Amino acid sequence: MMMTLIVVLVVSGALLAGAAWGLFGRLHERTEGFLVALAGGALLLSAVSELIVPSIERGSLWSATLGVAAGAIVFTLADYWIDVKWGRESGGGLLAAITLDGMPENLALGVALIGAGAPEVAALAGSILLSNLPEAAGSARQMADDGRSKGRVLALWGATAVLLSLCTIGGYTLLETAGEEVLATIRCFAAGAVIASLAVEVFPQAYREDRHWSGVATAIGVILALALDTMSNG
């Protein structure tokens, strides 16, 4: 449990650090787009190698396929519902949207921590950390540019960090005694939602900000995640 709390604090703290970076620091737009694409590539590989592949090995390709598809569909429907119900410009809509974007990653992290040591979750946790920083920075800066006060923006990201931390801890504690088949399905569900969020939010942002080099950055992110996974399992 102690390792879970440490991982949660570090990963969620990256959201606040990223928001502060976006509000009080400045990076060239193309540099930020490069970093977002790099983080997206790392998270994409980690979702596949740390969540989907182990689930196939311990279960079946059929159940993994259903889990991934269900996760992607549920995320897409929830994202659409937030747009229709609140719109992303309202305070509630913003909080719901950024929480939804981070929830699959944190649920996946909580489930991945069950029965695993630090090396086994290093690649996934590292990829989520890498992803949180530029994503939070870009979103926080956009909120401030739209006229919101920096204090309100930080408060929104603070609330998001708390909600996502609870998601990770809940995924760990509520499912700790679940069977391997159930865990495998949930891992794949979370992976599908992560992949959908990357397609909807991360890669479009990266392409808008750095369309010439976003592909290269994504490939570098994949290589970094692969290297981290190799070192943690070596």
Q: pLDDT at position 163, please?
A: 82
Q: pLDDT at position 68, please?
A: 95
Q: pLDDT at position 93, please?
A: 57
Mean per-residue pLDDT pooled into runs of 10, the chain (234 residues): 73 85 81 88 88 85 92 90 68 65 80 66 77 81 81 86 83 76 85 90 87 92 84 63
Cα–Cα distance between 29 and 66 in angstroms, integer?
Answer: 38
What residues does each domain of the chain span?
2-12+30-233
Model-level pTM?
0.82
User: What are the C-alpha distances in Å from 144 to residues 17, 124, 147, 148, 219?
Assistant: 16, 30, 5, 5, 31
Q: pLDDT at position 217, please?
A: 94
Q: pLDDT at position 232, please?
A: 63
Q: pLDDT at position 219, please?
A: 95
Q: pLDDT at position 228, please?
A: 76
